Amino acid sequence: MVRYTGKSADGRNGFTLIEVVLVVLLVSTVLALAWPLVTNSQVAWRGQTHQYEVVYGARWVLHWLAADLRGAKQVDLTVPGQLSCLSLVTYPLDANGKPVAPAWVSVAYRLGTDGVVRRRVGADEKPLASGIDKLAFRTVGQGDGGELLVEIAVKGNEAGRKRYPSVELITRVMTRGI
């Protein structure tokens, strides 16, 4: 019976050159076959992340626009990509952190050439979302009390990243009409 002792015929420990070459060849073949799977999954993950960011930004813009329009009067939609109105705002806080009484405040939205939607409340202007290609408003109806039914369309895709599908969200909001 032959017993394996882990030593070569001349008594030395280790692997032969052929064994090492075969293992290196086998490992490199497995890595070469697995590399496209890794890179494709990274590209898919990047696309999903981009899509999520665009949808989130568009929904955030619609949220603020709808909230301001629901309490709005004197709505101005004359400039494409811009909206201005007087809106009933309650979020300014006093020294105790309690909301101040509601007040009519000038609120404006605009889409910049850089794809950023900005919201201006009084003199304070802040960005809401980036990657927006289109911000459109149109009046689709009018109520008996002077309230307007405004359709808002937000389309996002971040300029320069056209290989991903764009997202367009549309909603309709009835203004206060006072």
Q: Where are the domains of the chain?
A: 35-174
Q: Answer whether 134's CB lies under 8 Å from 153's CB.
A: yes
Q: What is the largest CA-CA distance in the chain?
A: 104
The pTM score is 0.68
Output the pLDDT for position 93: 66
First to last CA, the chain: 103
Amino acid letter for position 12: R
DSSP category for residue 42 = H
Per-residue pLDDT of the chain (178 residues; tens, 9 = 90+): 556 565 666 667 778 899 999 999 999 999 999 888 888 888 888 878 878 888 888 899 889 888 888 888 888 888 887 888 888 776 666 777 676 777 788 889 998 888 889 999 888 889 988 888 888 888 888 877 778 888 888 888 765 556 667 788 888 888 876 5
